[in-house]
Structure 1
Amino acid sequence: MATKVLMPQLGESVTEGTIAKWLVQKGDFVNKYDALAEVNTDKVTAEVPSTVSGRIQEILIAEGETVSVGTLMMYIVEEGENETSENSPEVTKQTEQSFVPETTGKQPEMKRETINQIEKPTQQGSRGKVRYSPAVMTLAQEHGIDLSLVMGTGIGGRITRKDVEKAVQEGVPAPTFTQGVNLDTEEKTAMAYTTAGLTQEDTRKQNAVTQAKAQPVPIGVGDQEIPITPVRRTIANRMVQSKQEAPHAWMMVEVDATNLVKLREVSKDEFKRKEGFSLTYLPFFIKAVVEALKEFPMMNSSWSGDKIIMHKNINISLAVATDNALFVPVIKDTDQKSIYGIAKSIEGLAQKTRAGKLSIDDMAGGTFTVNNTGTFGSILSQPIINAPQAAIMSVEAIVKRPVVIDDMIAVRSMVNLCLSLDHRVLDGLICGQFMQSVKRKVEGYGAGTSIY
């Protein structure tokens, strides 16, 4: 009896995944919990483990292919069982891996209804507002695709990214008008826009963007075409979505980090010897941010459409870059950690990121983001908000500069802290007060500061 391996649901709103790499081949023997494949989704890259010990009978999905949650990916013949072909009677007795949701694979029956002389497909028995994944919505917006005209092939008739990509390539069906109704072209066009929930001006703008995107980029001799990976596409979509939806505002404060530099200098060697990893400046800045968030809890908020969510827990999202991608793992309950505890969490998440071992839980639940651009020598930056969070702060490079203190010039170690904020949630007053609080806390570090 063979075991079916289905595409798992690697996240609450994830509806599809891309096979980044198969880690096994047909005929290989695998033990229970061995990794079978690396799967990319909108949220995370994860390994799919085997829940049985056995031999790989068949691999059905190619590397690079994107399929819906619940799609059959491979067969594993368990230990002690005879191999069966896909068409043999035994296949009907196959069991599914327990970590994936059970699906029937049956698509919902579709019907057509006429609205304002326009016919459009609707799902039989569907109620309320149709929900789409962020990747589907962003891709549709980029290409001016009306999702109400796209036929979904996912579970329960949901529209997947593959459906939208097909619509981009082949186009979507035009609205069908009831025969016998005498409407001129302008009236039909206006009615089509109304049914889609758009104004004609909206659609003209979307068409202009689509046409601009469709223009091929000239490729010169020696130019290299780099395929867009799922991770890079996700990053691009989220950044575009954040900039389009959140009205960004920006501010920066100068901070005198001289005493912090001295504190780290006298502590780093002993810390490295004792703990086994380096003590960087970042944990000190995160600790200052966390303490300021306690003073101004509105900064620890998220935009949620018709309401603002002010979070009780303080979970700091940390931007971590690899050679070809950017990940944002989360330090949970950061306000309950010492500087050492924050440093240890950063080290652990950085190692997991570089090894490609981040889990869904590692990436979930962030309430405020800190970005350490100073490691690249940057002294001024304007970060993009990690939506739906209300703000993100960049810590720039610490550099020695001449400053005026008590009407005298002194050389001090200075750092710029840059904040991008969602103006739907936050205003300049509270953000200015928050940044001044962070500044005071960083400048207050000194010989008496406890790392533990």
Structure 2
Amino acid sequence: MPSERTTLRVPELPESVADATVVGLHKKAGDRVRRDELLVELETDKVVLEVPAPADGVLDEFTVKEGAVVEADAVLGYITPGAAGETADAAGAEGDAEPRDKATATGAAAGPATAPRSAANADTASTEAGARAEVSAPPPSPAVRRLLAEHDVDASKVEGTGQNGRLLKQDVERFLARREETPAPQPSGTETTSEGQEATAEAAPAAPPEREPSRAPTPSPAGGRSEERVPMSRLRARIAERLLQAKQTTAMLTTFNEVDLTEVMALRARHRDAFEKRHGVRLGFMGFFVAACALTLRRFPVLNAALDGNEIVYHHYSDIGIAVSSPRGLVVPVLRDAGQLSLAAIEQQIRAFAERARDGKLDLDDLRGGTFTITNGGVFGSLLSTPILNPPQSAILGMHKVQDRPVALDGEVVIRPMMYLALSYDHRLIDGADAVRFLVAVKESLEDPARMLLDL
């Protein structure tokens, strides 16, 4: 009866999020569902929210379709409790009937002595089948489904090691590794040309190729001229909105410099193995950049400030956003109180952010706030760029590709691992002199890492 049904609703949305779009319905009417099993995926302009089943039962109906825009507490569907057991009993009864009929027929052919044993075996098989149905593995996460689709892998062929047999990303990666043990051509663009670039990739690993709906379709063969129109994802629309806002509402200017990473790379080479063994995370480049910026923001607090009308808001803490590429687009999780974190803690949080971004597990709290941002285009091969501000922040640092280049040092030309740095800032608040001195101070900290230890 309708009064006995459990209502599936949109969870409470954060204050800054007005609505969400239904991007995935993972069951259909009449399907059995178990409590906490993923039923609906909702996309906001920041993250994807998963809506689990609130109770065991049978899904009566979904009241929305994919693409629908819903608000907090809106009804998504109904689940009939108790029907799950009835369905299981009915299925068990039907399952018992057929084996018993077959057992009787077999017994008639083989003789009276074999009939009871065949029937008992059928009962046992039916019971085991029912038990297997009761402990069926939960559906994989969106990130795992994307990985399966990208590599054309049948989920039933991969053994899940998660709770209740749930398929995890590591399970798929192990399966792919075993499948690719036979020699195969290496895809282009995966090799690194220097230790420095490898280190940069470790700091902010690139996400797997995204299967976003807005991606351009593959050109049709035989010279076809096809077109396709698809709506922008909510995240892409939000990124476009904020970038346009930054261009229209700030007096953005960019200053450039270059940094010699010889000392940082030497430090990594000396301590990389011991650091990873002690802290369980690789010693990448991003940790040094975060530490250098957090230290320098204390010396130049205006770079860490924001405009609010006719007032300047000075932040006496450094919450540094780290731009991370995810399957859904660019996201900027925030390292809280970065100036109070050790290098190991910075690297651990960066790795956690990168993994959660790839798996679609970032929370809204991870993305809120931030007083300064660092973005690393070098992992994709960018040699130089002008990063755009992340409002209401007033400055953003752009890292780029590490490249061996000839430089003049003590009257001689030497080859050094060099990186171009770009600092974009809001000229309404930050004078050019402060911006340039900030960038020079960051450069000096990276070229002589001992300065960070000594707070120089």
Q: Which TM class, normalised by the smaller chain length?
A: 0.5 to 0.7
| Root-mean-square deviation over aligned CA pairs | 2.7
Q: Distance in 2 between matches of 1:278 and 1:32?
A: 38
Q: Distance in 1 between matches of 2:315 and 2:226?
A: 48
Which range is displaced more, 385-394 or 305-314?
305-314
- Kept in 2: contact 1:368–1:392 (CA 8 A): yes
Q: Secondary structure of the residue that 2:373 maps to in structure 1?
A: strand
Q: Secondary structure of the residue that 2:418 maps to in structure 1?
A: strand
2:21 is equivalent to residue 21 of structure 1: no
Q: What one-letter code is carried by the residue in structure 1 that aligns with 2:356?
A: K
Counting aligned pairs with the same residue, the percent is: 36
2:398 is equivalent to residue 394 of structure 1: yes
- Alignment partner, residue 411 of structure 1: 415
**Which structure is higher in helix share?**
2
What aligned pairs does 1:37-436 form with structure 2 within 5 A after superposition?
37-79=40-82, 221-225=224-228, 227=230, 228-436=232-440
Gaps of 5+ in 1: 84-218
Shift of 1:273: 4.5
Match of residue 38, structure 2, among 28, 35, 40: 35
- Kept in 2: contact 1:31–1:50 (CA 8 A): yes
Shift of 1:2: 2.2
Q: Distance in 2 between matches of 1:448 and 1:390?
A: 24
- Alignment partner, residue 151 of structure 1: none
Q: Secondary structure of the residue that 1:21 maps to in structure 2?
A: strand
Shift of 1:446: 5.9
Which range is displaced more, 310-319 or 386-395?
310-319
- Kept in 2: contact 1:17–1:39 (CA 8 A): yes
* Higher Rg of the two aligned structures: 2
Distance 1:39 1:324, change over 3 A: closer
Deviations 1:307-353 (A, max 9, x none): 33222331111111134511111112211211111110010000000
- Alignment partner, residue 135 of structure 1: none
Gaps of 5+ in 2: 87-219
Q: What one-letter code is carried by the residue in structure 2 that aligns with 1:234?
A: R
Q: Distance in 2 between matches of 1:411 and 1:249?
A: 31
2:4 is equivalent to residue 11 of structure 1: no
Q: Distance in 2 between matches of 1:244 and 1:447?
A: 38
Q: What one-letter code is carried by the residue in structure 2 that aligns with 1:57?
A: D
Q: What one-letter code is carried by the residue in structure 2 that aligns with 1:340?
A: A
- Kept in 2: contact 1:301–1:308 (CA 8 A): yes
Q: Distance in 2 between matches of 1:226 and 1:257?
A: 45
- Alignment partner, residue 120 of structure 1: none
- Kept in 1: contact 2:405–2:417 (CA 8 A): yes
Shift of 1:77: 2.9
Q: Distance in 1 between matches of 2:50 and 2:407?
A: 52
Distance 1:406 1:309, change over 3 A: same
Q: Distance in 2 between matches of 1:31 and 1:304?
A: 49
Which range is displaced more, 388-397 or 343-352?
388-397
- Alignment partner, residue 162 of structure 1: none
Shift of 1:259: 0.7
Q: Distance in 1 between matches of 2:84 and 2:226?
A: 53
- Alignment partner, residue 5 of structure 2: 2
What is the aligned length? 315
Deviations 1:397-428 (A, max 9, x none): 22222211222222222211111112232221
Distance 1:14 1:437, change over 3 A: same
- Kept in 2: contact 1:55–1:78 (CA 8 A): yes
Name the TM-score, length of structure 1 as normaliser: 0.64
Q: What one-letter code is carried by the residue in structure 2 that aligns with 1:25?
A: K
Shift of 1:80: 7.6
Q: Distance in 2 between matches of 1:37 and 1:53?
A: 15
Distance 1:332 1:19, change over 3 A: same
- Kept in 1: contact 2:281–2:344 (CA 8 A): no
